[in-house]
Amino acid sequence: MLKNSVKQLLKSFVVMFLGFAFSTNAFASIIVGNDSFSKSYSIGYWQYHSSLVGELKPGKKVAFLKFMVNDTDRVMISSYSGYRIEIFNSYHIRVSDSDNVDNPTTFSYAIANADSNYQTFYIKMTREKSIDSGYYSVSIGNRISKAYGKFDFIGEASNPGTPDYFANPNGANSSIISMDLTNNSTIPKKAIVKSIQTTGHLSNNLGGRTHHMSPASTNIWYEALEGKSTGRGYGISSSNKIEVAQVWNFRYNFKFKSSSTMRNVHASFYYEYDKTDQY
């Protein structure tokens, strides 16, 4: 569903964009003559000039453009005009390409990842046939989207408490409850965790508790930054590359004598995903 909706949205935008450009002569001139690296049409910084249209005259098969990115930019260069897209770095070394197609209704894309400010990438558009004039569209957009989802753990966690704190200063861990998000259709493919917050209802809220979460992919217990009935952060960020769609385990730790239970445990995930992973 997500894959189809993203593709349809992109397709609708490009079709409307091309129709507007051609029917109203929205541009002073269609881009022409940019048939080599040295003649590349300069788009500038990609966010300010994200979409454009060019023309290849009869006998011409390639067109070149260049654009600038800043550090951490992760962009998708796409077209619905049936051209092959290749991306080159500032040394003219190819870093990404799309399938070679020759179908005006076919969507194609390539990617570029910045690793410094004011970095330049080149786009090479190639068509199979060069008999007649041909138009191409180029759109550049951010590949990374952010989203939120709240999910429920199954069951109730129970904690016996810590009868002798001096003998066990680390406290007691509760029983473990789990949730399986492996096949959850609401989570985009390869979505990774930016942060997590957990909440639950405690039977005996005396404080001194911390929340722990463990994803099956690492089997590491991450501890929340706050205790009581809410846990935030867990020290997990997008740099950990932990995917949302997997089995997650939960427990809580208590450092005092009283026994307790925690039910209605929820985990709120803030995550990001790459649009190109959805195709």
CA atoms within 13 A on the CB side of 39: 8
pLDDT value, residue 12: 45
- Per-domain boundaries in the chain: 2-142, 146-278
Q: What is the pTM of this model?
A: 0.80
pLDDT in tens, 160-180: 988 887 777 888 999 999 999
Which residues in the chain come in under a pLDDT of 70? 1-28, 50, 99-105, 225-232
| CATH 3.30.565.10 assigned to 2-142 | no
- Rounded CA-CA distance 35/56 in Å is 8
Say yes or no: do domains 2-142 and 146-278 share a fold: yes
**Domain spanning 146-278: CATH superfamily:** Galactose-binding domain-like (2.60.120.260)
- Rounded CA-CA distance 270/253 in Å is 24
pLDDT value, residue 256: 81
